[in-house]
Amino acid sequence: MLQGGYRLKNNNRGWTITEESRKILLIGCGKMGGALLGHWARGGDSFTIVDPFLDSAPEGIRLVADREQLDGETFDTIIVAIKPQQIDEVLPLYAGSIAEDGYVMSIAAGASIERLKKAAGDRPVIRVMPNLPAAIGQCVAGLCASEDATPDQIAHADAMMQRAGTAITVDSEDMLDRVTAVAGSGPGYVFEIARAYVAAAMNLGFDEDQARAMVLGTMAGTVAMARQSEQPLEELRDSVTSKNGTTYAGLQALNGLGDGELSRLFNDTLRAAYDRAVELR
């Protein structure tokens, strides 16, 4: 097998590199697990879901109600997608289902690597912190691996999350808590900013549909422009800001008449979210 979970395959036109197919068991399939599953399944891995409350699974994916139906099968990857408070009770039941060179991937918020390893019989663990836009394939996720996770396992987990959007790998759970503060909780900040922006537009005399169309369109177009540009964000801001013009006046009000109030507010926001993530771990 090649480094990173890939292998050579002869397709009658010569040798090509293809991603290795793995057997994956998804324990629980709630909103986040379900949102990610549609993207994960595109990679060619073989998925089984174990969830007693699920009535059906996507085409091509096996669904079982409990571990007894697995009949002793082992899996290359077990994904923990249950509530954090269920981990200590549920995950040990599946420790014997992890293949000899397999690993555990967890999207359970707040459950530490140490806790997951203990529940999984001291097997390699990769924690993943996804965010809500996973539902539309624009997830931003952070990954943090235990010291015994292999490069192949880390590459496989990264490839899975890249199918759902953007993934970054960090080297400590403290940094993963910081990912949580920035990206995991980030959609909530953006939704709140958009809500306040729409409300302000309505206060200028627009109806809700008009305000929402203008605000969301402006935000989407501006982000798309920033992503396509190599210019620093400050330069992009300045490119639309004439001295003493309308944008300048608005920015002065937005940032506390130039005293950095908005920057302090965002620093406080991320610090509060990070501190809470540390408490929950």
**What tokens were used for 120?**
């999984």
When pLDDT is averaged across residues 244-270 and rounded to a whole number, the result is: 90
Query: Each residue of 165-177: pLDDT tens digit?
Result: 999 999 999 999 9
Total structural domains in the chain?
2
Residues 161 and 214 in one domain: no
* Four-residue CA torsion sign, 53, 157, 18, 228: positive
Confidence band for 256, pLDDT divided at 50, 70 and 90: confident
Among 171, 198, 229, the domain-final residue is 171
Q: How confident is the model at residue 3 (pLDDT cuts 50, 70, 90)?
A: very low
Is 126 in contact with 156 (CB distance < 8 Å)?
A: no
Q: What is the model's pLDDT at position 12? A: 53
**What's the length of the chain?**
281
Domain range holding 133? 6-171
Contacts of residue 169, Cβ cutoff 8 Å, sequence gap at least 6: 142, 143, 144, 145, 154, 158
Q: Supply the CATH number for residue 259's domain.
A: 1.10.3730.10
CA dihedral over 155, 161, 163, 168, signed as positive or negative: negative
Residue 181 lies in a domain: no
Return the beta strands (E) in the chain as ranges. 6-10, 15-19, 23-27, 46-50, 62-64, 75-80, 98-106, 125-129, 139-145, 165-169
Determine the Cα–Cα distance for residues 62 and 211; give it in Å rounded to an integer.
Answer: 45
CA distance 32 to 35: 5
Please give the torsion angle defined by the CA atoms of residues 81, 48, 127 and 21, in that order, rounded to the nearest 10 degrees.
-160
Q: Same domain, yes or no, for 113 and 197?
A: no
* Tens digits of residue pLDDT in 160-211: 999 999 999 999 999 999 999 999 999 999 999 999 999 999 999 999 999 9
